[in-house]
């Protein structure tokens, strides 16, 4: 009997990940439907990575692709692990306006390069830590939109 427990555990882990992916997919679609405005922009399949720095020698990397919804006061990032499994959304706000947001985290710093945008936030659940999101391989139109949105809404942030 004990030789079959590992088989069941392995199967249960796969089913759990599958159900979690379905849950996040449905949740992300509901968020997009609820928080999309007339002036919102949406980008799909932006490659990138997330680096969570949780203190001395505690850093986690996550390579994923993002679907992005940009509103007038926030950015919703919907990561997909392994480029197809949906994950928990990230909502970054530009200021103190919390309208059309869900569990927001303040965007503290950003930098824009030739084809990359770097977003830095300090979520509440990371004590003494920060989360850095790298959006890579962006086309010039997407870079221009991020410049327009971020520099107009966050003039005091580091560029």
**Model pLDDT for residues 28-84, shown as the tens digit of each residue:** 888 788 878 788 888 888 889 888 887 777 888 888 888 888 887 888 888 887 756
Contact 47, 86 (CB under 8 A): no
Domain that holds residue 63: 2-153
DSSP string, 81-141: ETTTEE---EEEESSS--TT-SS-EEEEEEEE-SS-EEEEE--TTSTT-EEEEEE-S--HH
- CATH number of the domain at 55, please: 2.30.29.30
| pLDDT at position 158 over 60 | no
Q: Structure pTM?
A: 0.75
Which pLDDT band holds residue 18 (cuts at 50, 70, 90)? confident
Q: How many domains does the chain have?
A: 1
Q: For residue 20, is it within any domain? A: yes
| pLDDT at position 125 over 70 | no
Q: For residue 158, is it within any domain? A: no
| pLDDT at position 14 over 70 | yes
Q: For residue 93, is it within any domain? A: yes
41, two tokens: 């922009």
Q: For residue 51, is it within any domain? A: yes
C-alpha separations of 92 from 58, 76, 89, 96 in Å: 23, 6, 10, 11
* % of the chain surpassing 70 pLDDT: 84
Q: For residue 80, is it within any domain? A: yes
pLDDT digits (tens, 9 = 90+) for 94-117: 776 667 677 777 777 888 888 898
Q: For residue 47, is it within any domain? A: yes
């Amino acid at each position: 009997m004990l030789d079959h427990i590992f088989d069941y555990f392995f199967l249960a882990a796969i089913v759990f990940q599958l159900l979690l992916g379905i849950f996040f997919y449905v949740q992300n679609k509901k968020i997009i439907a609820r928080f999309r405005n007339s002036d919102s922009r949406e980008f799909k399949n932006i490659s990138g990575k997330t680096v969570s720095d949780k203190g001395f020698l505690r850093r986690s990397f996550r390579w994923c692709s993002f679907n992005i919804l940009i509103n007038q006061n926030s950015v919703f990032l919907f990561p997909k692990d392994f480029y197809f499994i949906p994950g928990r959304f990230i909502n970054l706000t530009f200021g103190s306006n919390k309208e059309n947001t869900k569990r927001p985290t303040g965007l503290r710093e950003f930098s824009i390069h030739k084809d990359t945008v770097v977003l830095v936030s300090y979520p509440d659940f990371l004590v003494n830590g920060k989360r850095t999101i790298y959006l890579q391989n962006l086309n010039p139109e997407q870079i221009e939109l991020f410049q327009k949105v971020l520099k107009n809404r966050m003039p005091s942030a580091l560029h």
